[in-house]
Amino acid sequence: MSEQKNRVVSIGEVMIELSRGNDGRFALASGGDTFNTAVYLARNGVEVAYATALGDDPYSNSIVSLATAEGVSTELIVRVPGRLPGLYMIETNPAGERTFYYWRDTSPAREIFELDEWSRLAETMLNARIIYFSGITLSLYSNVGLGRFLAMLEMARKNGVRIIFDGNYRPRGWKNDVARARTVFAEALKRVDVALPTFDDEAMLWGDRSPEATIERLRAFGISEVVVKNGENGALVAAGGHQEIVPVHEVVQPVDTTAAGDSFNAGYMAARLTGHNPGDAASAAHKLAAAVIQHRGAIMPRQSALMH
């Protein structure tokens, strides 16, 4: 039990990733926002478990093997016989910006809080040090699943678990139902200790006019530590009554911006867990994200990873 108290539990969906290379061929990999963060946390020496549901097919097996190879605990991955994981394809333009195409509507990850094992998973999560999830995580679940997930967060928080959330708003995941997305986000935000949003997402969902407006809105939920990621404009960090812009070290030309925010979040959490203050943590997070966006795909080769 005490071992679990030291770890981060990251919750969401990991999918099969197909990304087109310069030669026009597709490379096969795996990715998903909260999974990417889990991998980069593990590479930074953080004990982390990933919670999701997968099938019993060879592709699901390869995802579990990847998690294991990366040092991410798989005990919270439920296997559902006869099902397949989601699939996404990335097309990247010459500027490194990407377009995603998804096939994920029947992914078992969507039903994790409706499967028979959900209460065992929830019980285990109550003993984590941190629970991390995103707006994409929230978009997966039905109202029943969301109710159970939010209740689990509330119980975990009462148990001393810190709840960390990245807004990561993707309209398509919500079938462009902005009202539902706002309602669900608001319920989640009531249960959050640390928010790591991206300004563009917040502006899209809430109409925020500036990172400062995002911080003001999130503070109204009682969130005491907020880091607003704003691309090459750096990150606006608000914690302990102090607010500062932490600039990027140098603006790099991205090869592929996939997982820029996911890796930033990992770098930030890893630095905070090892005692760094929020400003220094954001600086470390910028460095990791800058390395990641100079590689294709969500998870860069291990030898390129920045370690603390």
For the annotated catalytic residues, the residue numbers are 262
Q: For the beta carbon of residue 305, count every other beta carbon within 10 angstroms.
A: 18
Smallest CA-to-CA distance from 44 within 297, 282, 260, 306 is with 306
Largest distance between two CA atoms of the chain: 52
The position carrying tokens 């096969």 is: 28
DSSP 3-state of 75: coil
Round to whole Å and give the CA distance between 115 and 175. Answer: 24
Contacts of 9 (CB under 8 A, 6+ apart): 48, 49, 50, 51, 76, 124, 125, 128, 130, 131, 132
Order across the sheet with 162-166: list the strands. Answer: 77-79, 48-54, 8-11, 130-134, 162-166, 194-195, 225-229, 235-239, 242-246
Strand (E) or helix (H) holding 217: helix 211-219
- The total number of residues shown for the chain amounts to 308
